[in-house]
Chain A
Amino acid sequence: DVKVTQSSRYLVKRTGEKVFLECVQDMDHENMFWYRQDPGLGLRLIYFSYDVKMKEKGDIPEGYSVSREKKERFSLILESASTNQTSMYLCASSLSGLTDTQYFGPGTRLTVL
């Protein structure tokens, strides 16, 4: 079974703090993705990575950065958290092609006060 894990289920941070969200997959997948999910807006792609040290912007990259130093690990960084970044953050991975089945982690509910 594919397993994607995320470092925290719930996180509360203050405005201006630097926030790290970590994601690990155990299936040797090439691609990893970060989404945020908000009511009424669905899933929106923030960044994705198709290889170690490679990254591509998604639909809403502003205010975020990512890091992929190892194949199994993909980090999302909020350089200076703001209240409008309160959301559910979902990590996913897929085997190779960008349109292969994506497998999701359990999500991190981030609240920025």
Chain B
Amino acid sequence: EDQVTQSPEALRLQEGESSSLNCSYTVSGLRGLFWYRQDPGKGPEFLFTLYSAGEEKEKERLKATLTKKESFLHITAPKPEDSATYLCAVGTGNQFYFGTGTSLTVIP
């Protein structure tokens, strides 16, 4: 069965404490893996698309990596404004699967 699992469900970090969020997937025929940021009460904001194992993308304090089974979103020296829910999604030939997200809280 195709599925996408994110871990941990929730993460609390001190400001400046780097960490990683995980998105593992079991799907047939990966076409793309997507990371989004979602603030409370708002729609998801697109961050990255990764297409093949070994690919990496960076934006400010965020870096996304992809292997054949999982993706990591690395957060380096986070700030309180990085607090949000981070969603990953996987696209196959004809489906788009979302994980349930990791809620990140960065404490000043």
Contact = CB atoms under 8 A, between A and B. Distances in A.
A103 B32 CA distance: 14
A77 interface: no
A99 B2 CA distance: 15
B43 A101 contact: no
Contacts of A97: 31
Interface in A62-106: 88, 90, 92, 97-106
Contacts of A102: 34, 46, 89, 96
A109 B41 contact: yes
Given A99-B32, A101-B46, A107 B98 contact: no
Contacts of A109: 41
A42 B44 contact: no
Interface in A36-68: 40-43, 45
Contacts, number: 53
Given A42-B98, A42-B101, A43-B98, A99 B92 contact: yes
Interface of A: 4, 40-43, 45, 88, 90, 92, 97-107, 109
Given A98-B94, A101-B32, A107-B43, 14 more contacts: A41-B100, A42-B87, A42-B99, A43-B98, A88-B41, A90-B44, A99-B91, A99-B96, A101-B49, A102-B34, A104-B45, A104-B46, A105-B43, A106-B43
21 contacts: A4-B43, A42-B98, A43-B87, A97-B31, A98-B93, A99-B91, A99-B93, A99-B95, A99-B96, A100-B91, A101-B32, A101-B34, A101-B46, A102-B46, A102-B89, A103-B46, A104-B44, A105-B43, A106-B43, A107-B42, A107-B43
